[in-house]
């Protein structure tokens, strides 16, 4: 899971155009009562929402940002500001349940303890189940004066149409590659590692930082090496599957393998691979494959991914073994 950064009074650099637009709307008293911050995971949408909420609650803001020093900012930083309500899953991967939204609704009816805004943040909004989403509708429609509700979503297509229609949608773009590279370069990692992490995160800098912090690059390199070992028959499917089952989130491995499958096809037609840190291994793997087999592997990965993410709750070990037996059988 992508780890959010520590609280900051500023959004990340690539979100400054959105920030300036939101701040302008606030200063002209044209700010919508509900905002849906939409975009891929790992680009700083929660930080944008937190920084904007703190700016609206700050006692002594400068022209753009919260001061970070006043009583309101200190309360906000400690997570105890009485005019700020943050709703998120109580456990990673769990739903936002109706009891949490009922508490939110009660907060929205109370008078603010200090003058100014009441801020409500829901992240990720698609974690609401049907009951909690429906319970939010009335508050979204009639939130009361000086109340701002911000919903952060990685998958807005999963939200009820009735929720989206009550919000102003703010599409949060990913940074450009140079922006992401510059931001990550100050965290003390080598350029090669940073480049690899951006490939693995599909350009999402916070996710890339998470990858660097957990040393997932080394784990991914071992996964790719396992593909070669299986082709050489130097290890068994059962051995490799057991290791993958314990190594990390299998959905992460599937994403890595999908990217690798594209690179295998590229190498077969003499194009440049994106996963440069494992290109030598991929060269060796692809040498013994037909280009159609690369596409077949990609299709097999998509099938396994759908099964793994489905509500059927399949046996992960058996799913991995099935994928790897199919891999070994590819010509």
Confidence of residue 223 (pLDDT cuts 50, 70, 90): very high
pLDDT digits (tens, 9 = 90+) for 266-278: 999 999 999 999 9
Q: Which residue spans within 80-229 are E strands per DSSP?
A: 84-87, 118-122, 147-153, 168-171
Q: What is the pLDDT of residues 13-48, one digit of tens each?
A: 999 999 999 999 999 999 999 999 999 999 999 999
Cα distance between residue 35 and residue 32, in whole Å: 7
- The pLDDT of residue 1 is 38
**Dihedral sign (CA 41, 44, 47, 48):** negative
Mean pLDDT on 180-198: 92
Give percent above pLDDT 70 in the chain: 97
Residue 311, pLDDT above cutoff 80: no
pLDDT at residue 3 in the model: 41
pTM, two decimals, is 0.85
Average confidence score pLDDT of the chain: 93
Burial of 229 (0-12, 13-18, 19+ CB in 10 A): middle
Q: Which residue has the tokens 């200090």?
A: 114
Out of 1.20.272.10, 3.20.20.30, 3.40.50.880, 3.30.870.10, the CATH code matching 215-329 is 1.20.272.10
pLDDT digits (tens, 9 = 90+) for 320-329: 999 999 999 9
Least confident span in 91-100, 103-112, 247-256, 282-291: 247-256
The CA-based dihedral angle spanning residues 97, 100, 105, 107, taken in that order and rounded to the nearest 10 degrees: -170
Domains of the chain, residue spans: 13-173, 215-329
Given CATH 3.40.50.300, say whether it is the number of domain 13-173. Answer: yes
pLDDT, residue 7, reads 54
Contact at 8 Å (CB) between 41 and 207?
A: yes
């Amino acid at each position: 899971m992508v780890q959010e950064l520590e609280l900051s009074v500023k959004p990340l650099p690539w979100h400054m155009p959105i920030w300036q637009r939101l701040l302008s709307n606030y200063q002209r008293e044209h700010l919508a009562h509900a905002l849906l911050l939409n975009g891929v995971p790992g680009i700083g949408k929660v930080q944008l929402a937190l920084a904007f909420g703190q700016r609206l609650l700050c006692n002594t803001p400068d022209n753009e940002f919260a001061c970070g020093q006043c009583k309101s900012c200190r309360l906000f930083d400690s997570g105890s500001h009485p005019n700020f309500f943050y709703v998120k899953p109580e456990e990673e991967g769990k739903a936002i349940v109706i009891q949490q939204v009922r508490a939110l609704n009660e907060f929205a009816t109370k008078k603010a303890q200090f003058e100014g805004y009441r801020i409500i943040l829901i992240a990720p909004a698609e974690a609401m189940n049907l009951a909690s989403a429906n319970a939010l509708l009335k508050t979204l429609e009639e939130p009361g004066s000086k109340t701002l509700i911000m919903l952060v979503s990685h998958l807005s297509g999963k939200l009820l149409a009735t929720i989206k229609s009550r919000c102003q949608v703010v599409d949060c773009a990913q940074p450009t590659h140079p922006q992401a590279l510059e931001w990550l370069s100050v965290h003390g990692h080598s350029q090669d590692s940073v480049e690899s992490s951006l490939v693995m995160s599909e350009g999402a800098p916070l996710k890339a930082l998470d990858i660097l912090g957990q040393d997932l690059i080394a784990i991914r390199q071992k996964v790719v090496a396992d593909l070669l070992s299986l082709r050489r028959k130097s290890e068994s499917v059962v051995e490799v599957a057991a290791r993958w089952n314990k190594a990390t989130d299998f959905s992460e491995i599937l994403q890595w393998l999908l990217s690798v499958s594209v690179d295998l096809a590229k190498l077969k037609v003499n194009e440049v691979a994106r996963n440069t840190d494992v290109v030598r291994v991929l060269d060796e793997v692809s040498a013994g494959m037909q280009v159609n087999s690369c596409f077949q592997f990609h299709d097999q990965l998509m099938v396994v991914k759908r099964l793994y993410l489905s509500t059927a709750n399949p046996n992960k070990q058996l799913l991995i073994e099935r994928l790897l037996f199919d891999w070994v059988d590819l010509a």
